[in-house]
């Protein structure tokens, strides 16, 4: 599961990121509202932890902007503003939960678990499937019928990205952000290499699915044409 934390307190970010990483969450941090909007719009995160008092663009504005754009990623507002009016404003702006600072990291993780259990918000990430293939992300196993193959960490993350958006054309920048992280400096040729590797993995299990190049845009996972 991927968490985006938008928080201007860098020490707090660092400590929470360490705790979330130890619990198995992939966590990225940014420290201003405009950066938060940029990262959140990528759509690659499962939960957003959002401070309300941010430089450049405040948290409520970030939240309302995301909701206006149709981005429904669950958001936990984490803020020192604990008045009833502030809570109501945050929830009315589109937050899924409201956490008052200071808080224990264990409570934050409990709230993340609670949000991701809600029906209709997130799919079961332990097993993803589409077009006759199945991926178990934690075990990094791709299967089709009785055949299966082990994937590398990057191959698994790449296939996970496509299986979360089956039949959708994904821009190269969006795929790079999902697999390598928003702040990573990665040459685009690396993506082409891993697409090649993943195509070979799909062929190895005789998958009825294919990765199609959309020139000038990116790639999509779709059903393979039957003979």
- Mean pLDDT over 77-92 rounds to 87
| pLDDT of 29 over the 80 cut | yes
Question: Which of 117, 149, 183 is the last residue before a domain boundary?
Answer: 117
125 falls in which pLDDT band (50, 70, 90)? Answer: low
Here the CATH number for the domain that contains residue 45 is 3.40.50.2300
**Measured between alpha carbons, how far is 81 from 85 in angstroms, rounded to an integer?**
9
pLDDT reported for residue 184: 66
Let me know whether 134 and 198 are in one domain: yes
Host domain of residue 101: 2-117
And the tokens for 180? 């390598």
CA distances from 58 to 31, 77, 90, 91, 126 (A): 11, 12, 12, 15, 35
Task: Give the chain's domain count.
Answer: 2
| pLDDT tens sequence across 188-214 | 788 999 999 999 999 999 999 999 999
């Amino acid at each position: 599961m991927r968490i985006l934390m938008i928080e201007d307190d860098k020490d707090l970010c660092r400590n929470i990121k360490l705790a979330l990483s130890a619990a198995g969450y992939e966590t990225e941090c940014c420290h201003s509202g405009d950066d938060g909007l940029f990262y959140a719009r990528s759509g690659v995160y499962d939960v957003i932890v959002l401070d309300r008092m941010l430089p450049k663009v405040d948290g409520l504005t970030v939240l309302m902007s995301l909701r206006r754009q149709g981005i429904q990623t669950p958001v936990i507002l984490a803020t020192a503003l604990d008045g009833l009016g502030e809570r109501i404003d945050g929830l009315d702006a589109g937050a899924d939960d409201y956490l008052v600072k200071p808080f224990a990291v264990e409570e934050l993780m409990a709230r993340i678990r609670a949000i991701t259990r809600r029906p209709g918000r997130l799919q079961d990430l332990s097993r993803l499937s589409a077009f006759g293939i199945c991926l178990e992300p934690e075990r990094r196993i791709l299967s089709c019928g009785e055949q299966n193959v082990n994937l590398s960490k990057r191959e698994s993350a790449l296939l996970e990205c496509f299986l979360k958006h089956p039949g959708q054309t994904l821009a190269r920048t969006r795929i790079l952000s999902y697999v390598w992280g928003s702040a990573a400096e990665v040459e685009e040729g690396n993506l082409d290499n891993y697409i090649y590797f993943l195509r070979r993995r799909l062929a190895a299990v005789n998958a009825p699915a294919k990765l199609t190049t959309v020139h000038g845009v990116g790639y999509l996972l779709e059903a393979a044409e039957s003979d």
